[in-house]
Structure 1
Amino acid sequence: MQEEKKVNENRIEGRNVVLEAFRSGKTVDRLYVLDGCKDGPVQSIIREARKQDTMIQFVSKERLNQLSESGKHQGVIAVTASYHYSTVEDMLELAREKGEDPFLILLDNMEDPHNLGAIIRTANQAGAHGVIIPKRRAVGLTAVVARTSAGALHYTPVAKVTNLVKTMEELKEKGLWFVCADMDGTQMYDLNLKGPIGLVIGSEGEGVGRLVKENCDFTASIPMKGDIDSLNASVAAGILAYEIVRQRLKG
């Protein structure tokens, strides 16, 4: 029986279709597999997924049925990226081409596609050279992200890395320093945010993870006068990004 592709262009179903997606080099953000399935074709798909360090989730048949629109998932559903990912080196090269100090935005625990899309849009307008997200515990470049970015995804590089802390360490060796958003940090107006910089933003619920925060050079807080104690993650990213822009414009 012929396998069908889901109406959602970012989700494909069926063993042959999913296996070909991996073998063709298509970027697969997440793979859902029927828990306990030992069939040869499914095991081949799992091997291909591990080669690409794709996030694999073993789920029940009921969960797969919920995710499926074709009803012909055959025990596997893959979520693919709408856009190609860039590399961190692409971002550094973009900064070199522009003759600017690198300005990168790193996102930790960001699972809301609307926030990711809005941050990519802000990154573009603020002149950031790219956005970095981890492979795990992060939303990928879905159609929702693309729509929310209002076209910015066409122009702003996004890289997906295996280990955010390791990436930060490598960037530190290239001269970058890092500041993360934290309500207990130093007021952002009191920090020098010039030079090669990485701005680290966490999710609204969890914030920046402990290891990532420990690898930041500074923490920056946003002055708040209201009755609630946090801002939407994309709003916080915008405020801090434009403080970096303001300081760069001052020279």
Structure 2
Amino acid sequence: MAKRGHRPSTGTAGRPRFWGRHAVTAALANPERIVRKVWGTREALAALDLPPVLPVTFADVADLGRLVPADAPHQGLVAEVDPLEDMWLGDLLAQGRDDQRPLVVLDQVTDPHNVGAILRSAAAFDALGIVTQDRHSPPESGTVARAASGALETTPWVRVVNLARALEEIAEAGFWRIGLTGHATQTLAEAMGAQRIAIVLGAEGEGMRQNTETHCDELAKLPISGKVESLNVSNAAAVALYAVAARG
């Protein structure tokens, strides 16, 4: 039984519910995404070009608020969707065989806000995709979709069972694996060459695990001032992706 005051974030059979204009419209525009139903205010729904077969329910703001977590900024739109089909790492690496797009690897980053923000940065800087551990990363959810602001639908997200083995496969595909950590002696700019780059980032607070560090080609740090100890992992990902995109 749900606790009093609980706001559901999943619908029928564990399907996630997305909320907010960007997340819902991006899901509707993604041919790989199955949208099961949509709720919305008349004003919000009037702005959408919805397929006639899609079940649509008109709802007021209060009703929509009961479909999503408390205080979720739904902007008058909620959708129930199926999770995207899993993608194999080998298929993702094959997609980027002939280009220089970077890859982002996350070691036990569990905060859905951070993963969503990293997806958004990956889309902004045209990354090949992100790679996470299956058991130590958040599932697709309204929170991830909202933070990603549509990028959940456009940026490939690969989940792997064994991150160390995945890093070996990434190296075999020609990527130079750079782990970001504050105890590195060189900066990211110094560690980058002309190779394809895989940026590896550790969990919030704990950082990368030792086994993950040993599967990186080099360790590097961002040149932040001594006024702060570290950056949030999503901020660090954005800065690192910019650095890769801007390298000469």
Aligned to 1:8: 9
Structure with the bigger RCO (C-alpha within 8 Å, sep 6+) is: 2
Count residues with an aligned counterpart. 175
Say if 2:107 and 2:133, in contact at 8 Å, map to a contact too.
yes
Taking structure 1 as reference, are residues 244 and 147 closer, same or farther at Cα in structure 2, changes over 3 Å only? same
Aligned to 1:187: 187
Counterpart code for 2:130: V
Aligned to 1:221: 221
Which runs of 5 or more structure 2 residues have no equivalent in the other structure?
1-6, 15-80
Identity of aligned residues (%): 30
Rounded to whole Å, the distance in 2 between the matches of 1:156 and 1:183 is 27
CA RMSD of aligned residues (A): 2.1
Which structure 2 residues correspond to residues 143-158 of structure 1 after superposition, within 5 A? 143-158=142-157
Rounded to whole Å, the distance in 2 between the matches of 1:215 and 1:121 is 26
Question: How far has the Cα of 1:84 moved from its partner?
Answer: 3.1
The C-alpha deviation readout for 1:107-158, integer Å capped at 9, x for no partner, is: 0110100000000011111111110000122212222111110001111100
Aligned to 1:24: none
Counterpart code for 1:85: D
When you count helix as a share of all residues, which structure comes out higher? 1
Which runs of 5 or more structure 1 residues have no equivalent in the other structure?
1-5, 14-79
Say if 1:81 and 1:142, in contact at 8 Å, map to a contact too.
no
Aligned to 1:127: 126
Partner-residue secondary structure (3-state), 1:184:
coil
Taking structure 1 as reference, are residues 203 and 10 closer, same or farther at Cα in structure 2, changes over 3 Å only? farther
The C-alpha deviation readout for 1:178-218, integer Å capped at 9, x for no partner, is: 00110111112222243222110112211011101111011
Aligned to 2:206: 206
Partner-residue secondary structure (3-state), 1:146:
helix
Counterpart code for 1:214: T
Partner-residue secondary structure (3-state), 1:183:
coil
With 200-209 and 114-123 compared, the bigger mean Cα shift is at 200-209
Say if 2:9 and 2:141, in contact at 8 Å, map to a contact too.
no
Say if 1:106 and 1:201, in contact at 8 Å, map to a contact too.
yes
Taking structure 1 as reference, are residues 109 and 145 closer, same or farther at Cα in structure 2, changes over 3 Å only? same
Question: How far has the Cα of 1:9 moved from its partner?
Answer: 2.3
With normalisation by structure 1, the TM-score equals 0.64
